[in-house]
A and B are shown apart, each in its own frame.
Chain A
Amino acid sequence: MTMFLANLLLAMVWAALTGVFSLRNMATGFVIAYLVLYAASPVMKPTLYFQRLRRLPVFALYFAWLVIVANVKVARTVLSPGMKLQPGIIAVPLSVEKDSLVVLLANLVTLTPGTLSMEISRDRRTLYVHALDASDPDAVRRDIKITLEQKIQELLS
Chain B
Amino acid sequence: MREILVVFLLTVGVAFSVVAAVGLLRFPDLYTRIHAAAKVGTMGLGSIVLAAAIHFNNLGVSIRAFLVIAFVFMTAPVAAHMISRVGYKVGARMSPKTVIDELRDEDQKL
Q: Which residues of B contact A74 (CB under 8 A)?
A: 19, 23, 35-36, 39-40
**Contacting residue for A87 out of B76, B80, B97, CB 8 A:** B97
Closest to A23 in B: B62
Contact assessment for B42 and A111 in the assembled complex, using a CB-CB cutoff below 8 Å: yes
**Contacting residue for A91 out of B28, B78, B106, CB 8 A:** B106
Contact assessment for B101 and A89 in the assembled complex, using a CB-CB cutoff below 8 Å: yes
Contact assessment for B85 and A119 in the assembled complex, using a CB-CB cutoff below 8 Å: yes
A62 interface residue (CB < 8 Å to B)? no
Q: Shortest CB–CB separation between residue B18 and chain A, in angstroms?
A: 9
Interface residues of A in 104-127 (CB under 8 A from B): 106-107, 109-114, 116-119, 121-122, 126
Q: Shortest CB–CB separation between residue A87 and chain B, in angstroms?
A: 5
Interface string of B73-108 (1 = CB under 8 A from A): 110111011001100100000110111111110100
Q: Shortest CB–CB separation between residue A91 and chain B, in angstroms?
A: 4
**Contacting residue for B22 out of A79, A106, A110, A130, CB 8 A:** A79
How many of chain B's residues have a CB under 8 angstroms from any CB in A?
46
Closest to B102 in A: A91
Q: Which residues of A contact B104 (CB under 8 A)?
A: 89
Contact assessment for B59 and A75 in the assembled complex, using a CB-CB cutoff below 8 Å: no
Q: Shortest CB–CB separation between residue B19 and chain A, in angstroms?
A: 4
A21 interface residue (CB < 8 Å to B)? yes
Contact assessment for A91 and B34 in the assembled complex, using a CB-CB cutoff below 8 Å: no
A71–B35 Cα distance when bound, in Å, is: 10
B14 interface residue (CB < 8 Å to A)? no
A59 interface residue (CB < 8 Å to B)? no
Q: Which residues of A contact B35 (CB under 8 A)?
A: 74, 113-114, 116, 130, 132
**Contacting residue for A132 out of B32, B76, B100, CB 8 A:** B32
Q: Shortest CB–CB separation between residue B101 and chain A, in angstroms?
A: 5
Contact assessment for A122 and B59 in the assembled complex, using a CB-CB cutoff below 8 Å: no
B4 interface residue (CB < 8 Å to A)? no
Interface residues of B (CB under 8 A from A): 15-16, 19, 22-23, 26-29, 31-32, 34-36, 38-40, 42-43, 57-59, 62-63, 73-74, 76-78, 80-81, 84-85, 88, 94-95, 97-104, 106, 110
